[in-house]
Structure 1
Amino acid sequence: MAETVSPEFALDESDERTVLRLTGDWTVQHVQDVDDALRALNVSSPLAVDVSDLGKLDTAGAFVIDRTLRAAGSAEEGEPEIIGDHPNATRLIAQIHAVSTPAPESPAQDGSIMALLDRTGRSFMHIASESIATLAFLGETLATCARMLLQPWKLRWTSIVAVMEESGLDALPIITFLSFFVGMVIAFIGATTLKSFDLEIYTVELIGYSELREFGVVLTGIVLAGRTNSSFTAQIGTMKMRQEIDAMQTLGLKPMEVLVVPRVLAMLIMTPVLAFAATLAGIAGGVMVAWLALDINPGVFIVRLRDSVPLDQFWVGMSKAPVFGLVCVLIACRQGLNVGGSVQSLGRATTTSVVQALFSIIAIDALFAIFYMELDI
């Protein structure tokens, strides 16, 4: 076993800088021998470290060296100045310096009008850049999907079916359950409001129009935004953190084809199915309230619904479902691919994914309402 040499140091001072020359082994066993002497140093000029004659070095020694540099004011800006060659001194001291550097304090909030305008402008530019990046990702996704559909033998059918089950069939109970009670709430509100006008029978039209046109598909989109978006973002983000996507690219596999396309196709297939089930569940909730509270027979309810509510209202709602599904999966996959190497970035990406999906669904539904109003549908 090699003998350990006690650590020593010497100072070479000049007008331009002071060089701290290190010798011996700066390890946890003996670094305390020079700790007091290093603390007593009083250096006025910038301090550099010469590691040419340095022996062994571990993190304890690197910490003491970095602390000395900080005390001399030489490591406040940029990396410490290291002179000479050593197998691991530069790397260890730089790592300790990076870990020991305190996080910058958040600037105090300025309450002036200019500061408010500055924050508003930055927020607007951030929203604009996010919108442009999402549109670019949409174009890349559509191009990749079109290319894969023209070459169906390249599609990963196992992945598509697995996503259909995970994000479609597994979400069916909660979507139908919530939609059933939303239908009951709409029926109670309609019955309470219309009863004062002796128009309780029009509760049927209220339930039909609201469920077929809006609530069934919107509720489906909201549940998918909270449930599926977070799941997709967490899955892809975890793969990004573990460098599985880098390994995938090394093997010649394209993340867009392996991760994004199966999820997009699965959501385009399952979202209309879920919206249809949610619509039926909402109408069923309205039928139950109408039967128990208004004494409207279910047969009469269905006949009046068929005669009073045009079929085009159903297609209005169903036309939104693929768009909502596409928006959810696009935002989820993009945020997942944007995850960095830390757990904090994964949490931020998941939160951003859900918030953006919810906002997009409500905004797109409003645009659909304006569009169909102009078409008089």
Structure 2
Amino acid sequence: MADAADFIQETLPDGSEIVRFSGNLAIASIGDLDARLHALPDSVAQIDLSGVTHIDTVGAWLVYRTAQKHGAKITNADKDAVRLIEAVSGVDDSDPVAPAHVPPLSRFLGEVGMGVVVAFTTLLHFLGFVGQVVKASVILMLNPSRFRWHSVVQHFDMVGVRALGIIGLMSFLIGIVIAQQGAVQLRQFGAEVFTINLIGRLTFRELGILMTAIMVAGRSGSAFAAQIGTMKITEEIDAMRTIGVVPAEALVVPRVIAAVIMMPLLGIYASLMAIIGGGLLCWIILEIPPDTFIIRLREVTPMTDFWIGLIKAPVFGAIIAMAGCFQGMQVEGNSEQVGLKTTAAVVQAIFLVIVLDAFFAVFFSEIGWD
């Protein structure tokens, strides 16, 4: 094995110093040589390489940098040392390399393009995940003994029962806001009585189920993503696959079924709470008695509005549950991914719910359910 790299300092008659390197001046043998070279005095005038047995690029860079720092002359270098020192002399780290200039328009178009690619890739993966859920559901229907009923009941409690308080309060306040804003605008035309029409149709047809879906996405959809994401990090899902349990059957299908069943019930509950809030404000502000409010509500609100809400609710529930489970399954690496995918689950679920709501609005209008 070659000797480790080293150097000694000698003082010349004129008071300047010469540094004589020796040994194997390669990366494997340098050791603490770099730190010691930094401590050299400014009086170094010459660097002697006569004692160097071998030198590589790292050693050449140390010699060149030391010579440049002190303005010293390099002497007694062999051909290999001269060649390597000349090669590294073209590298100057004193001037930072300026980043390549990218026009703002090109950068903007690049970011938009990357966003579109990510969006379509995510959509394709989500559609594949939906296919897996459908396949798992069919298998469970053909093999009922494999279905986990206790898991569904547990998620009934989390998705539905525990959400009654916040959804009821939110819907009650939204009913008051709709009634107050409608009354203010309709008072200009002396048509305050039509506030009841606004409350009834808007609540049963749109806002009741839509706001419930948004609340469930923020509450239960995020919980699904966080739970499954944590299981992914702790390798519980890999353990389930090892013992022959299909994660889609054990984790995803029960959550989807719970959301599909509970969403219509929560939608009806939210609509009733909004009606109560709107009726209370009409009674206090517009002096419309509750019995008159109820009679008028029955006259102006068609049953089609109620059925539209019931049709949309299970679809929204399935989308929210699958979006949460899908993002949870995408967690990889560390716990930071759990937070990122939980946020993505809420955003994705709300986006899909609003897109589907717009589709349903156009569809029901076209078939005459106005």
Residue aligning to 2:219: 227
Distance 1:109 1:325 in 2: 48
What is the deviation of 1:111? 4.2
Q: How far 1:281 sits from its partner (Å)?
A: 0.4
Tell me which of 350, 354, 357 is aligned to 1:362. Answer: 354
CA contact (8 A) 2:27 2:56 kept: no
Of the structure 1 ranges 205-214 and 36-45, higher mean CA displacement relative to structure 2 is found in 36-45
Instruction: Say if 1:35 and 1:259 are closer, same or farther in 2 by CA, change over 3 A.
Output: same
**Equivalent residue, structure 2, for 1:131:** 123
1:158 match: 150
- Offset of 1:18 from its aligned partner? 4.5
C-alpha deviations, 1:170-208, integer Å up to 9, x for none?
011101110011001101111111112111111111100
Note the alpha carbon deviations across 1:308-336, whole angstroms, 9 max, x for none. 21111111111111111111111100110
Tell me which amino acid in the other structure corresponds to 1:126.
Answer: V
Counterpart in the other structure of 2:82: none
1:122-151 deviations in Å (ceiling 9; x for gaps) = 111111111111111111111211221232
Q: Deviations over 1:258-290 (max 9, x none)?
A: 110110111111111111100110111111011
The within-5 A match list for 1:343-358 is 343-358=335-350
- 1:118 Cα offset (Å): 1.7
> Of 321, 325, 332, which aligns to 1:329?
321
Q: Provide, for residues 318-372 of structure 1, a one-character-per-residue CA deviation record: whole Å limited to 9, x for no partner.
A: 1111111111111100110110121221111111111111111111111111111
Residue 205 (1) aligns with residue 197 (2): yes
- Kindly tell me the number of residue pairs found equivalent between the two proteins: 301
**2:28 aligned with 1:20, yes or no?**
yes
| Structure 2 partner of 1:313 | 305
Change (3 A) 1:294 1:71: farther
Q: Does the 8 A contact of 2:34 with 2:62 survive in 1?
A: no
For each residue in 1:229-280, what CA deviation from the matched residue of structure 2 results, as whole angstroms up to 9, or x when unmatched? 1111110001111111111111111110111011011111111111110011
SS, match of residue 28 in structure 2: strand
Equivalence map 1:215-294=2 (5 Å): 215-294=207-286
Assess, with a 3 A threshold, how the Cα gap between structure 1 residues 9 and 264 changes in structure 2: closer, same or farther.
Answer: farther
TM-score between the two structures when normalised by the length of structure 2? 0.75
CA RMSD of aligned residues (A): 2.8
SS of the residue corresponding to residue 164 of structure 1 reads: helix
* CA distance, structure 1, for counterparts of residue 31 and residue 148 of structure 2: 62
- Would you say the 8 A contact 2:221–2:324 is kept in 1? yes
In structure 2, what is the Cα distance between the partners aligned to 1:249 and 1:339? 17
Partner SS state of residue 151, structure 2: helix
Q: Against the structure 1 CA distance between its residues 172 and 108, is the aligned structure 2 distance closer, same or farther, given a 3 Å change threshold? A: farther
> Is residue 148 of structure 2 the alignment partner of residue 140 of structure 1?
no
Contact (CA 8 Å) 1:9, 1:20: kept in 2 or not? no
% of aligned pairs identical?
Answer: 39
Q: CA deviation at 1:35?
A: 5.7
Among 23, 32, 39, the residue aligned to 1:36: 32
Distance 1:109 1:206 in 2: 56
Deviations 1:67-94 (CA, angstroms, capped at 9, x unpaired): x9x989xxxxxxxxxxxxxxxxxxxxxx
Distance 2:55 2:354 in 1: 63
Cα distance, 1:172–1:110 mapped onto 2, change above 3 Å: farther
Contact 1:159 1:262 in 2 (8 A): yes
Q: Which residue identity does 1:45 align to in structure 2?
A: D
Structure 2 letter corresponding to 1:36? D
Residue equivalent to 1:45 = 56
Q: 2:162 aligns with which of 163, 170, 174?
A: 170
> Residues 49-60 of structure 1: matches in 2 within 5 Å?
none
Change in CA separation of 1:111 and 1:178 when aligned onto 2, cut-off 3 Å: farther
Comparing 343-352 with 233-242, which one deviates more in the overlay? Answer: 343-352
Offset, 1:115: 2.2
272 and 108 in structure 1: CA distance in 2 versus 1, 3 angstrom threshold = farther
Runs in 1 of length 4+ with deviation above 6 angstroms? none
Q: Note if contact 1:138-1:330 (Cα within 8 Å) is conserved in structure 2.
A: yes
In structure 2, how many angstroms separate the alpha carbons of the residues matched to 1:336 and 1:312? 37
- 2:185 aligned residue: 193
Provide the TM-score with structure 1 as the length reference: 0.74
Question: How many angstroms apart in 2 are the aligned matches of 1:108 and 1:241?
Answer: 38
Against the structure 1 CA distance between its residues 46 and 263, is the aligned structure 2 distance closer, same or farther, given a 3 Å change threshold? farther
Where in structure 2 are there 5+ consecutive unaligned residues? 6-24, 38-51, 64-98
Alpha-carbon spacing, 1:308–1:119, altered in 2? closer, same or farther (3 Å): same
